[in-house]
Amino acid sequence: MVWTDFSAATASDEISETISYVDLADIAVAVVEGPSLDLIETLAATIADRLNDLAGVIAVEVTVHKPDAPIHHPFTDVRVVARRSQKSSQRPVAGTGQ
- Catalytic sites, residue numbers: 66
DSSP state of 52: H
CA–CA distance, 36 with 46 (Å, rounded to integer): 12
Please name which of 85, 1, 92 lies closest in space to residue 42, comparing C-alpha atoms. Answer: 92
